[in-house]
Amino acid sequence: MIQRIMASLDTTTQARLQQVQARIERAARAAGRSPEQITLVAVSKTFSPDRVREAIAAGQHRFGENYLQEARDKIAAVATPGSQEAVEWHFIGPIQSNKTRELADTFDWIQSLERLKIAQRLNQQRSPARGALNVLLQVNISGEPSKRGALPRDLPDLARQVATLPRLRLRGLMAIPAPTHEAARQHASFARMRALFEELRAELAGTGANLDTLSMGMSDDLEAAIAEGSTMVRVGTAIFGARA
């Protein structure tokens, strides 16, 4: 009975991943882009290590987490000694100053960087043996007081300073726009993000920074994000199902 349930879960996860990958491919083709230009991060927050293992078995190797302790336990549980399949972990939640050492030790990417003080702490606490920590600057593109992220006007100065930190590798921008089912509003938010991204790339030209990642788009709006230039989508519900 247990084996039948696990087989069903495996099939469901694999089928959902295939559906998401098909959506990404269709959206990329419609925008005149190659699907290989878009990276899929499976957002596994609140889901068990077994669900992550199912996704890994189905070919997914990049995962996003919001909560440090949950992520640490999950990463340890999923790790397979001697495995040749590298799993890449992205932190996409709010960052507390007293958690930066553990974040620097645990993750391959930090997508939710919004303050220079946090960047400096991550830089100081990242082990040189692990190589540079990939970071994205989170942008409050909707201008909502309740949303996290740097304001667009503050990005150039923040980016220039983060780009000088030797144990961080500034890769680009991330945003979580205000949710909406109106396609025009989705496109407008993502178009503003793309414009900010291009302006920042031009601003940092000649500094050695190589911005190549624009992380935007989730289960409900990835098509609009890809149409407007996203290079990384973060998908949870469409892969793992609704959260309890």
Q: Give residue-wise pLDDT tens across range 80-101.
A: 765 656 899 999 999 999 999 9
Phi, psi of 123 (to 5 degrees): -65, -45
pLDDT (0 to 100) of residue 208? 81
Q: Exposure of 115 by Cβ count < 10 A (0-12 exposed, 13-18 middle, 19+ buried)?
A: middle
Residues 192-220, mean pLDDT to the nearest whole number? 94
DSSP 35: G
pTM over 0.85: yes
Domains of the chain: 2-240 (3.20.20.10)
- Nearest partner of 104 among 89, 76, 123, 129, judged by Cα: 123
- Among 112-126, 143-157, 193-207, the range with the most confident prediction by mean pLDDT is 112-126
Enumerate the β-bridge partners of residue 133: 168
The mean per-residue pLDDT over the stretch 157-162 comes to 96
Cα distance between residue 81 and residue 79, in whole Å: 6
CB 226 within 8 A of CB 38: yes
* Predicted confidence band of residue 143 (pLDDT cuts 50, 70, 90): confident
